[in-house]
Structure 1
Amino acid sequence: MRRRTLLTAGGALLGTGALTAAGWPLLSDYAREGRPGKVLTSKAPLPAPFRTPLPVPRVLRPTSTSATTDTYDITQQHAELEILPGLRTKAWTYGGTFPGPTIVSRSGRRTVVRHRNELDHPSVVHLHGGHTPAASDGYPTSLILPANGTYDAQRVHQDMNSGPHGASMAHHAMDLAEATRTYTYPFDQRAATLWYHDHRMGYTGAAVWMGLAGFHLVHDDEEQRLPLPQGDRDIPLMIADRSFAADGSFQYPWLDPQLHTPGVTDPYMNGVLGDVILVNGAPWPVHQTQRLRYRLRLLNASNARTYRLQLDPQPPGGNALVQIGSDGGLLDSPRAHDTLDIAPAERYDVVIDFSRYRPGTRVRLLNLHGDGSTAQVMRFDIASGSPRDDTTVPDRLSTVPPLDPTRAAVTRDFHFTGSDAGWTINGTAYQPGRALARPTLGQTEIWRFTTNFHHPVHLHLNHFQVLSRNNREIGPQDHGWKDTVDLRPAEAVEVVTRFTDYAGTYMLHCHNLEHEDMAMMADYTTQ
């Protein structure tokens, strides 16, 4: 299908029949639920699952500390990694690894991160879920230019303005930093599982696919007082699908492999799906656990793939996945699930009690939205013995005061759709510097998202609470503070938020990264 035809058809893709009629070669579960994307099949031989031990990203040490501030340095650099056994994968990395190193911060204590760009192209860093001043939020044209001097303002402007994705630079003045940019995070926010990733306009999907993503964890006193699993039983899991060329390199359907024109080729503009599931950069890894409780920090870092996670076998009585946190930190009380749906950029902190299994049990983490190689994620092998477990999941985790929607000063509507104009919000392709909303700091607002297709919607600066889906009750995983909400076809989701602390320009966008790169973003300005 040509780009224009595909976008027009996308507006009507609300069910399996429409998907089939439109010619989309989608996975069966994706077709049944109107999920986006097209699989890019690997040319490299795929390894057998559950052979690679689960890697845990290293924790980055600060370069310096003071009474109020921890400072870190990260170099963005090319690296060759062994992801598939026996093959080398050229990656774009934070600090030479994929995922990048994990930064651990304390609520109320400032973190400063200096990023140096030794890649061959500009970059932007966004702390996803951070309550962050605008200057450090990672606006998509606030670029770090490569240290090798190959880019100037004219070339950057030309590259960003040359694609058929619908976005326009117009006369927007870019914020360019030579080689290095410093990001300041006050962390006046709750403990939460955050992550950082590239956010360059028009090129986010390619950059994240190539490896520019890492965890940033925030702790606070409230969380520390709880008897939850800690140390090596508190494990961040970055789940991401990828596709590999015959030589082991990352395979991505660039519209222009030279990176002078943003976007992907026509068949993949609705999202790129890989056929290899990586967890912390390893294909279908295995992790040996004791018969104890573990806290797993689940992050969907895929460009477009959604997952429905389930343990196999289920423990006696089910309810294996005890959710204790969401995007914005702890829930008020735990919620037990047999399955968890997680869209791109969403995070769920869950506790699994492996003592409910017999010693020697091999427990797979399945993806019920997948087929073939994408139907399973990783495996946990339960060790023998019955060690004493001094952890528990309290009935009360935190206080999450509900925002009162009756106090909302305004209700705003944002319609996410595909059309001849591209992937748009309110019928408008993204243009930097054009704000679709101007909320006042301290003001509570209701934002209503509607769609004619599937979009995970992400809001920068402030977290929100989900009020309703299609004027009905919220979903079982909509509780707590969120920064990304999974918006399904022909659905209206209402959220309530209060804008606080920082004036400036922020982003609202779809976190299907191919949709984002093809103009499904909008500015809003707090004042």
Structure 2
Amino acid sequence: MKHYLLRGGLIFLLLSLTSIIPCTGQVELDPLSQPKFVNALPFPETLSGTYHVMTLSEFRQGLGVYDPSTLSDPEPTEFEPLVWGYNGSYPGPTIEAFSDTQIQVKWINDLPKGNVLENHLFRIDPSIHWAGKIMGEEGHKVKELSGIPTITHLHGGHSEAASDGHPEAWYTPGFMETGPQFYENNGLFTYHNDQEAATLWYHDHTLGITRLNVYAGLAGFYILRDTWEKNLGLPSDNYEIPLVIQDRRFYDNGELYYPYEQEYLEDPLEHHLPDSEVTVLPEMFGDFILVNGKAWPYVEVEPRKYRLRLLNGSDSRFYDLFLPGVDFYQIGSDGGLLDAPILRDRLLIGPGERLDVIVDFSDPAIDGQTLILKNNARSPFPYGETANPRTSGQIMAFKVVLEMEEGEVDNSIIPQSLRPAEFEVGEAINTRQLVLFEGTDEYGRLKPMLGTAEEGRLEFTEPVTETPELHTVEEWEIYNTTADAHPIHLHLVHFQVINTQKFNTRKFVEGDPSSIQLLGQPKPPSEENAGRKDTFIVLPGEVTRVKALFDREGLYVWHCHILSHEDFDMMRPFEVIKKTEEIAGVDNTIFINDLSAEPLEKLEIAPNPVRDVTRIRFSFRNNSEVLIQIHDFSGKVVATPFSGAITANRDYEVLFDRAGLPASTYICKISTNDGRSYEKLIIAQ
């Protein structure tokens, strides 16, 4: 049966599930063939200490999916598909750390070597901007990578740029090839943990194939604790359960299946790529629900309180969770504890978000029962199809069948006050108007993008437009012009949601901020979204206003956490820079970031001050990709004199024409693989 879906003025033809997967002849496994709530919930290993080695590799692991032909056997055959993981486990081990105690993690890439297009578990789309694409080349040319590229990001971590896991900081096994933002740390990342207790997670973040690498299994929990939280009396130890929820699809031989073909209402021959089997999807929704790497598992619980740390690790699926007959007490969100617990009967959670909740199973009315955690969210959210109550509408089961030991008492509590002080970022000194767009690319494929109200939609590769100054607070207004909800994630920071407000999307003109027509009154965030957030669901036709303190220098990214969206092309860089008075206050001084000044051999601007044309001369000790940009004092890029590759130990000269720029003081920034440098540039009358 065919379904027609209206998306942002475009009509797409979606094919419902059939037993035969188009173009391959392979058969997809029917989720209704599988038993539910027969797999015990797995608990990944917990790692403590201050140094860890995490090896990324390929292996086989049972995911709680069975060969349907053996289900009548006393011991049915559990498939063991190929997966990727950390230290031989999917999900990876849970890293447990403590606030203000620095740890180091060595991330070793031992994924398959050889041709990356042939050895990835899933089909890579070489037409989009990804780690293996040759920059500046037309067509679908791919770098000669010697293995699978990867880079690990600590989601929610307050990380320095060198340890953030920038999508262009990827590396292949043995560091044979590296991305343009790769730091020479050989995969050894430092996490200072200078933040409060929270539920974080780590996952792959490789440019253009994040959705594929995470789907293969590259994800795990990172639990940060502190003394304050420990002394609250919350359920702990065996009564604290991290749960990562992910949807998947399978071939009938038990191997993971990631769909790769999208047919459009228009003539496919007119819009398809040369190889129609390698097209990126607008979203990906699985019909098997895995929790901690097992399909529809169960966990046996005692009649007492449990703390559940919930993580939506899915590609595109939102979850509207409910446990019939039982309420949730939400105590925390992405970045830590809320001010006070909130009684909730449903929990909406978008991709990348975390919820910290307490569930009390002590009611005698549910003793001995099996309680099924259910989902009723639409896909795409919020206007798509409702979850199938027989498959994606069921998550896992809680069996209230364990007895507490004689004389044992549940001494855990749900405190009425959870924080020593309210979360408050401070006053913003600058406001930016950012926009979520949706359109099509040259092949007619849906292409979600980010941009600004002033400049319109922007490719990931276009010059940085968001340059907050170090140790300052900014307010970002994020306008959603699309028909979907988008969970927007900012690296580095925990932001405070100020409010949301509707606006007239029909009146909005791309590139014209004056066309923004607000509707109604701003609404303060709901109680559950009033805490520390790093990911927030921006609803269609609404602007979300957030503010954050940018307190680490360096290059980061912000993006939609629907993985299919961030891969193509809903992600943009932002750079936290030294305050302009620090740069301009010292005459003709070059400022280098924390990496090293050694690769820079020469950087000269003459004449300076500039009346008409000046020459920017530079040379480096290493081969490098170089980007030269001119910023005004608001941080906006006003000119890009040079972008390209340079050869070591050669002198280069670029002519810069002021091109109508008004007389003022500007900043010339030169960015390379190894760092960034700044010099004052004065344009005279």
Which TM-score band (shorter chain)?
Answer: 0.7 to 0.9
Once residues 553 and 461 of structure 2 are traced to their aligned partners in structure 1, the CA distance between those partners, rounded to angstroms, is 17
> 1:63-74 alignment to 2 at 5 Å?
70-74=50-54
**TM-score, normalization by structure 2:** 0.64
> 1:318-397 alignment to 2 at 5 Å?
320-356=327-363, 357-369=365-377, 370-371=387-388, 372-383=390-401, 385=403, 387-397=408-418
Structure 2 counterpart of 1:67: none
Once residues 433 and 106 of structure 1 are traced to their aligned partners in structure 2, the CA distance between those partners, rounded to angstroms, is 38
Structure 2 counterpart of 1:11: 8
Deviates more, 1:388-397 or 1:414-423: 414-423
Structure 2 counterpart of 1:302: 314
Taking only aligned residues, the RMSD between alpha carbons, in angstroms, comes to 2.6
- 1:444 corresponds, among 473, 476, 483, to 473
Once residues 340 and 239 of structure 1 are traced to their aligned partners in structure 2, the CA distance between those partners, rounded to angstroms, is 13
Identity over aligned pairs, percent: 35
Contact map agreement 2:56 2:84 (CA 8 A) in 1? yes
Deviation of 1:176 after TM superposition, in Å, equals 6.7
Structure 2 counterpart of 1:102: 94
Q: Deviations over 1:86-130 (max 9, x none)?
A: 212101111111100010001000010001111020101000000
Gaps of 5+ in 2: 18-25, 67-77, 113-147, 263-273, 378-386, 442-446, 502-521, 578-685
Once residues 474 and 276 of structure 2 are traced to their aligned partners in structure 1, the CA distance between those partners, rounded to angstroms, is 33
Structure 2 counterpart of 1:163: none
The structure that is helix-richer by fraction is 1
Deviation of 1:253 after TM superposition, in Å, equals 2.4
Once residues 16 and 358 of structure 2 are traced to their aligned partners in structure 1, the CA distance between those partners, rounded to angstroms, is 32
Deviation of 1:428 after TM superposition, in Å, equals 3.4
Once residues 400 and 495 of structure 1 are traced to their aligned partners in structure 2, the CA distance between those partners, rounded to angstroms, is 20
Structure 1 counterpart of 2:29: 43
Structure 2 counterpart of 1:124: 151
Once residues 323 and 346 of structure 1 are traced to their aligned partners in structure 2, the CA distance between those partners, rounded to angstroms, is 14
Matched residue SS, 1:235: strand
Deviation of 1:295 after TM superposition, in Å, equals 0.3
In the alignment, is residue 205 of structure 1 matched against residue 211 of structure 2?
Answer: yes
Once residues 192 and 16 of structure 2 are traced to their aligned partners in structure 1, the CA distance between those partners, rounded to angstroms, is 43
> 1:402-413 alignment to 2 at 5 Å?
402-403=423-424, 407-413=427-433
**AA of the residue aligned to 1:425:** L
**AA of the residue aligned to 1:123:** T
Once residues 496 and 50 of structure 1 are traced to their aligned partners in structure 2, the CA distance between those partners, rounded to angstroms, is 43
Once residues 102 and 215 of structure 2 are traced to their aligned partners in structure 1, the CA distance between those partners, rounded to angstroms, is 30
Deviation of 1:383 after TM superposition, in Å, equals 2.2
Q: Deviations over 1:19-66 (max 9, x none)?
A: xx6444689xxxxxxxxxxxx99426642110001111111254xxxx
- 2:61 corresponds, among 81, 87, 103, to 81
- 2:570 corresponds, among 501, 520, 526, to 520
Contact map agreement 2:162 2:183 (CA 8 A) in 1? no
Contact map agreement 1:144 1:177 (CA 8 A) in 2? no
Matched residue SS, 1:143: coil
In the alignment, is residue 425 of structure 1 matched against residue 432 of structure 2?
Answer: no
Once residues 44 and 77 of structure 1 are traced to their aligned partners in structure 2, the CA distance between those partners, rounded to angstroms, is 28
Once residues 423 and 402 of structure 2 are traced to their aligned partners in structure 1, the CA distance between those partners, rounded to angstroms, is 44
Once residues 114 and 321 of structure 1 are traced to their aligned partners in structure 2, the CA distance between those partners, rounded to angstroms, is 37
In the alignment, is residue 495 of structure 1 matched against residue 546 of structure 2?
Answer: yes
Structure 2 counterpart of 1:53: 40
**AA of the residue aligned to 2:424:** L
Matched residue SS, 1:142: coil
Once residues 349 and 455 of structure 1 are traced to their aligned partners in structure 2, the CA distance between those partners, rounded to angstroms, is 21
Question: Considering only CA atoms, is the larger Rg found in Structure 1 or Structure 2?
Answer: 2
Contact map agreement 1:416 1:424 (CA 8 A) in 2? yes
Distance verdict in 2 for CA 1:345–1:277, change over 3 Å: same
**AA of the residue aligned to 1:133:** E
Structure 2 counterpart of 1:284: 296
Once residues 217 and 385 of structure 1 are traced to their aligned partners in structure 2, the CA distance between those partners, rounded to angstroms, is 28
Contact map agreement 1:203 1:263 (CA 8 A) in 2? no
Structure 2 counterpart of 1:214: 220
Once residues 364 and 250 of structure 1 are traced to their aligned partners in structure 2, the CA distance between those partners, rounded to angstroms, is 25
How many residue pairs match? The answer is 462
Q: Deviations over 1:113-149 (max 9, x none)?
A: 00111102010100000000000000111112113x8
Structure 2 counterpart of 1:484: 535
Contact map agreement 2:39 2:297 (CA 8 A) in 1? yes
Gaps of 5+ in 1: 14-20, 28-39, 63-69, 157-172
